[in-house]
Amino acid sequence: MSNKFVVLEGKRLLPLMFLLMLLISLSIYDNFFRVQQEDTVPAVREEKVFNTTTRGEISAPTSFHLVYNQSQWEDLKANPLLELPDYPFNDAYEVALCSVNSEIKDMNIHTADEGVQKVEVEVSMRPDYYHIVMVSREKLDSPEVYWTFLDEDGEVLLQESVEQDEMVTGEKG
Q: Which of 136, 71, 67, 118 is nearest to 96 (CA)?
A: 67
Note the pLDDT of residue 87.
81
**Segment of 82-91, 96-105, 135-144 carrying the highest mean pLDDT:** 96-105
Q: What pLDDT is recorded for position 65?
A: 85
Q: What is the pLDDT of residues 120-131, one digit of tens each?
A: 999 998 888 888
CA 168 – CA 140 distance, rounded (Å) = 12
**Which uninterrupted H or E stretch holds 122?**
strand 116-136
pLDDT, position 59: 67
In the chain, the amino acid numbered 25 is S
